Amino acid sequence: MVCLTELQQKFSSEITESHFRDNRRLDVPAAAVLPLLTSLKSDYGFNMLVDLTAVDWLEYDGAPDRFSVIYLLLNVDSGERLAIRVPVNLPDALLPSVYSLWRGADWMEREVWDMFGISFSGHPDLRRILMPEEFDAFPLRKDYPLKGRGERHNFPVITRSGS
């Protein structure tokens, strides 16, 4: 069982804890995230990264930060779960990559980069994973229009006589 005060002493006094039903969540400043996750994996046995995703809080009342990046961890042996939430802001939306800890972070970090434009330093191959290479926006950002900016219809038209 992870002890909050222990983590606060070791990594950052700004780490806070909250609960929702039986989920345990830690809010962690970006500077402390890599040492904290390293320790959670090696010392506390969180050997599985279940998910790595992000939220855009633009125009959300009371939100202090633009993005949150969320790590969902699982200790396979004890069944303990933990959610780590890290604030990220523009213009330098950058976090350290956790690819070195969990190989499964590879595509998840690429997806977060593709959809939100949050980059991960130390990632071996950070490029788009869902959208085409030439796409030049981050579609899950809230200031991107739902119907896009015309990318979906920017193709040559093939007529019947021309084919």
Q: Which residues bind another protein (CB under 8 A)?
A: 58-59, 64, 66, 89-91, 117, 131-132, 137-139, 141, 143-163
Give the phi and the psi of residue 29 in degrees, each rounded to 5: -65, 150
Nearer to another protein by Cβ, of 21 and 147: the residue is: 147
Closest separation between CB of residue 122 and another protein, Å? Answer: 22
Sheet holding 48-56, edge to edge: 16-20, 23-27, 81-88, 67-74, 48-56
| C-beta of residue 111 within 8 angstroms of C-beta of residue 140 | no
Q: Which DSSP category does 157 fall into?
A: P
Q: From the CB of 158, what's the least distance to another protein, in Å?
A: 5
Q: Would you say 17 or 65 has its CB closer to another protein?
A: 65
Closest approach of Cβ 90 to another protein, in Å?
5
Of 1 and 146, CB closest to another protein: 146
The residue behind tokens 């002890």 is 3
The position carrying tokens 């949150």 is 68
Beta strand 119-121 with 94-96: parallel, antiparallel or unpaired?
A: parallel
| Closer to another protein by Cβ: residue 81 or 142 | 142
- Closest contact distance (angstroms) between CB of 163 and another protein is 6
Q: Which is nearer to another protein, 22 or 143 (CB)?
A: 143
The least CB distance from residue 161 to another protein, in Å, is 4
Q: What angle do CA 94, 50, 8 make, to 5 degrees?
A: 60
